[in-house]
């Protein structure tokens, strides 16, 4: 990031700021920008304590204990905030199927609370993190994130004549994030069993630093209503296992409820509003609002679909090793 950035002199708040993404983004902002305040909003007091110790010498760093389900708490936390990055979410697919109401409260009602608080407090820009699971969702987690995406896009019309703008960033599996299959594979000892649901399965992959940098770019480029989708490589899970745990015993157990063989980040329906911008795509909004601006880019071909199985970019062992080194 250059010495001059959109964050200089601004107050930035990160919901879910103690997670993998939030921790890396906060560190980047404090190291490389002149943000006036960098605020972590999360409900995990233990992780907040660890972050407080890591950034104890920086007076710009702030902590705010709270839950995105609590609209009043968000209204208080957003006082004087210029930029919000919304990374808080419940994410585990099996947990969503058994606890659907909890996921609705956090991922959907929490999104509504973010939108209301941002408008009421005059926040300038909000970027919400999404997932490949939100495109043509096959499970409850993906469905809640699809609704969240739609809420943030529609939030631009909801503001009326005010200046608050909302956008979304959608990307795939993060290499080395908490709970990642890569982390599990690297911990396997020779001869240990790895349970694979289907040998045909493919997934998108992105590094944590790449995801953080992409969110920063989205904040710099957004005019409101976009869903930004970075072009990232795919890899078959069988190749991933062979690269990271070649001596593991692979047991194919069958696809789980709510699981896809291949992930998707842009559906055919969304492609009708999708622009190609070189190293990323932008899904444009299908509603209009006061002060809406056009987004630059080249329309994709009719019937376009961005899936992990039809991707033009594939990881081999050397590229995977390079990603892991990052």
CA–CA separation, 134 vs 149, rounded Å? 8
- Three-state secondary structure of 213-249: HHHHHHHHHCCCCCEEEECCCEEEHHHHHHHHCCCCE
Instruction: Read off the tokens for 147.
Output: 């609704």
Contacts of 27 (CB under 8 A, 6+ apart): 54
Q: Which of 35, 86, 87 lies closest to 61, judged by CA? A: 35
3-class DSSP state for residue 19? coil
CA angle 242, 207, 303 (to 5 degrees): 85
> Cα dihedral sign for 296, 301, 305, 310?
negative
Q: Give which of 264, 277, 302 is closest to 171, Cα–Cα.
A: 264
Tell me which of 91, 125, 133, 260 is the catalytic residue: 133
CA geometry: angle 320, 324, 326, nearest 5 deg? 120
**In this structure, what token pair is assigned to residue 215?**
């969110």
In angstroms, the CA 188 to CA 194 distance is: 8
Pairing of strands 227-230, 280-283: antiparallel
Contacts of 178 (CB under 8 A, 6+ apart): 19, 20
How is residue 235 written in tokens?
């890899």
For the question of residue 133 being annotated catalytic, the response is yes
Residue 320: in which H helix or E strand, if any?
A: helix 317-325
Buried b (16+ CB within 10 A) or exposed e, 194-206: bebebeebbbbbb
**Pairwise CA distance, residues 105 & 225, whole Å:** 23
Active-site residues: which are they?
A: 133
């Amino acid at each position: 990031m250059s010495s001059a950035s959109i964050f200089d002199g601004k107050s930035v708040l990160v919901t879910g700021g103690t997670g993998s993404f939030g921790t890396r983004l906060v560190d980047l902002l404090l190291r490389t920008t002149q943000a006036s305040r960098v605020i972590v909003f999360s409900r995990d007091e233990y992780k907040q304590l660890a972050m407080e110790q890591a950034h104890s010498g920086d007076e710009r760093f702030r902590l705010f204990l709270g839950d995105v389900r609590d609209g009043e708490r968000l209204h208080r936390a957003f006082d004087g905030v210029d930029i919000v990055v919304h990374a808080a979410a419940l994410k585990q697919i099996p947990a969503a199927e058994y606890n659907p109401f909890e996921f609705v409260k956090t991922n959907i009602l929490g999104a509504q609370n973010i939108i209301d608080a941002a408008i009421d407090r005059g926040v300038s820009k909000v970027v919400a993190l999404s997932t490949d699971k939100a495109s043509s969702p096959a499970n409850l987690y993906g469905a809640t994130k699809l609704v969240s995406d739609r809420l943030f896009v529609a939030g631009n019309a909801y503001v009326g004549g005010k200046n608050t703008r909302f956008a979304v960033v959608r990307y795939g599996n993060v290499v080395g994030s908490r709970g990642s299959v890569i982390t599990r594979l690297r911990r396997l000892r020779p001869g240990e069993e790895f349970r694979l649901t289907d040998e045909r399965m493919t997934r998108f992959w992105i590094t944590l630093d790449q995801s953080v940098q992409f969110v920063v770019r989205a904040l710099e480029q957004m005019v409101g209503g976009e869903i930004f989708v970075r072009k990232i490589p795919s890899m078959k899970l069988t190749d991933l296992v062979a690269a990271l745990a070649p001596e593991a015993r692979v047991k194919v157990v069958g696809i789980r409820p709510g699981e896809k063989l291949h992930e998707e980040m842009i559906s055919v329906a969304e492609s009708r509003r999708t622009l190609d911008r070189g190293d990323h795509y932008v899904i444009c909004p299908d509603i209009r609002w006061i002060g809406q601006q056009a987004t630059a880019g080249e329309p994709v071909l009719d019937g376009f679909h961005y899936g992990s199985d039809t991707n033009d970019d594939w990881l081999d062992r050397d590229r995977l090793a390079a990603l892991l080194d990052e």
